[in-house]
Amino acid sequence: MRTIIQNGTIVSDTAAFRADLLLEDGVVKAVGAGLSAPDAQVIDASGKYVLPGAVDVHTHMDLQAGAHRAVDDFYTGTVAAACGGTTTIVDHMAFGPKGCSLWHQVEEYHRLADGKAVIDYGFHGVLQHVDERVLREMGELADREGITSFKAYLTYDDRLDDGALFQVLRQAKEDGIVIPAHCENDGVVNYLRGWYKAQGLTQPIYHARSRPARCEAEAVSRLLHLAAMAGEAPVYVVHLSSAAGLAEVRKARAQRQKGVGVETCTQYLTLTEASYADPQEGLKAVMSPPLRTQADCDALWQGLQDGVIDAVATDHCPFHFAVEKQFGAGDFTACPNGAPGVEERLPVLYSEGVAKGRLSICELVRLLCANPSRLYGLYPRKGTLQPGADADVVILDPAKRRTLTHAGLHSAVDYTCYEGMELQGAIDLVLSRGEVVARDNQFVGKRGAGRYLKRGHSSLAE
């Protein structure tokens, strides 16, 4: 069980250097020049980048969302992830039955994922109401299951109101738990959805119009103020989509508020509301928050470059265009929210970020590997290639070119939002704990080989 990856450029979040990598028994054993080991299989990575396996801390595998179920389960979704260079996911659970214990969904998610996932995985808990039992169970799940993050929605039917959120934040501060939050102003969004529908304005572009950027900015601001009032409770803004939302984060950063983490997603960096122009095609991009303007994309790239945004995730939440998305034809309010992206993230971010000179290769590793691991209690087991880390490795050839098409992807879904995008760079090989799981865009791993990750505390809780 030894592998040597020779002559590649090893990349961490702070350095890129020519060296060999020795993997043994599923972990990184050594990094250095001229490594050798008897009986080791040798992989030549000359001219290629050797990256830590990417970590996606925002996926929704097998999500039950109202009447519809996301079409990737933990097998197909993690196969897609692996082929795209992601070797760890932390999945956001669906809401459970009204009033249920936090343990209910954890048990349900073990049933959905255990024995299916092909890469390592963890879960974020989900908060859908707050009472004494829920507040107690947050700490229990952190201790016993390594679930050290609990998602709060500021919109949707099972959202938390400000009082409930504030209680959760105080508890999170006490327990060293981080609260990832979906930030949109529910009252305004709901009113606008109804208003557009009443005017007969029901095409996908009105999905975007009914969720203006200021709805995100107001909710981000509110979350950050509530966190500050709760004693700088650890919070993490998921899927930030707008310049206005980012400006609120910048305010908190300028005031040196502790415990604030921020994520954006591939789609908010690379796609715009032009995707909604066609009433049919636009259904593919119905997600919340919606796609924005080019100016928003530019602001988010700036946020990555100056370090205000900590991580890039995917919010992978796929529904078939030909089936579930068609419920939104003629009524955007009936379209299930979400889009695929778990496989596209690393190739698109390498091409649009590194190859186009917007990010360095080290910044890419910081945003896709090291920071998500730190923020969710996985570092240094994941997100780095230092000795002792899990041998999760991606070999990427920067010289290759590829056209992104749905046919070349592995999710169960029937489309990609990035159809036809020309990519610089391609993934040659992906290893999960030392085993090859993807080679030249073919999945070669094993169903159920992924292990459940009991996570430690977030760097935001330190």
| Residues that bind ligand URP in the complex, under the rule CB under 6 A | 60, 182, 287-288, 315, 317, 337-338
By beta-carbon proximity to Zn ion, the closer residue of 145 and 315 is: 315
Quote the least distance from Cβ 337 to ligand URP, whole Å.
3
Say which residue the tokens 């969004």 belong to. Answer: 189
Q: Which of 248, 315, 343, 352 binds Zn ion (CB under 5 A)?
A: 315
Among Zn ion, ligand URP, none, partner that 284 touches (CB below 5 to 8 angstroms by kind): none
**Cβ at position 238, least distance to Zn ion in Å:** 6
The CA-CA-CA angle for residues 56, 173, 248, to 5°, reads: 65
Segment lying near Zn ion (by CB under 5 A), choices 195-203, 307-315, 364-372, 433-441: 307-315
338's contact among ligand URP, Zn ion, none, with CB below 5 to 8 A by partner kind, is ligand URP
**Interacting residue with Zn ion among 159, 182, 284, 433 (CB under 5 A):** 182
Q: How far is the CB of 316 from ligand URP (least distance, A)?
A: 9
The option from ligand URP, Zn ion, none interacting with 275 (CB < 5 to 8 A, set by class) reads none
Binding partner of residue 296 among Zn ion, ligand URP, none, CB cut-off 5 to 8 Å per kind: none
Based on CB atoms, which residue is closest to Zn ion, 29 or 182? 182
Min CB(337)–Zn ion separation in Å: 8
Instruction: Please provide residue 124's backbone torsions phi and psi, each rounded to the nearest 5 degrees.
Output: -90, 135
- d(CA 156, CA 189) in angstroms, rounded, equals 10
Q: Minimum Å distance from CB 444 to ligand URP?
A: 30
User: Which partner from the list ligand URP, Zn ion, none does 29 bind, CB cut-off 5 to 8 Å by kind?
Assistant: none
Q: How far is the CB of 97 from ligand URP (least distance, A)?
A: 18
Report the alpha-carbon distance of residue 75 to residue 16 in Å, rounded: 33
CB of 211 to Zn ion, least distance (A): 11
CB nearer to Zn ion: pick between 56 and 435: 56
Specify the residue, 151 or 381, whose C-beta has the smaller distance to ligand URP: 151
Residue placing its CB nearer to Zn ion in the complex, 325 or 433: 325
At its nearest, how many Å lie between ligand URP and the CB of residue 315?
A: 5
Choose among Zn ion, ligand URP, none what residue 287 binds, the Cβ cut-off being 5 to 8 Å by kind.
ligand URP
Binding range to Zn ion, per CB under 5 A, among 5-13, 177-185, 201-209, 376-384: 177-185
Contact 225/302 with Cβ under 8 angstroms? Answer: no
In the complex, minimum distance from the CB of residue 317 to Zn ion, in angstroms, rounded to a whole number: 6
The tokens for 392 are 């999760």
> In this complex, which beta carbon is closest to ligand URP, that of residue 60 or of residue 209?
60
Nearer to ligand URP, 282 or 338 (CB): 338
Q: How far apart are the C-alpha atoms of 112 and 394, rounded to whole Å?
A: 27
Q: Which of 47, 158, 138 is nearest to 95 (CA)?
A: 158
At 379, give phi and psi (nearest 5°).
Answer: -85, 140
Residue closer to ligand URP (CB basis): 89 or 359: 89
- Smaller CB distance to ligand URP: residue 6 or 337? 337
The residue nearest ligand URP at its CB is: 337
| Contacting residues toward Zn ion, per CB under 5 A | 182, 315
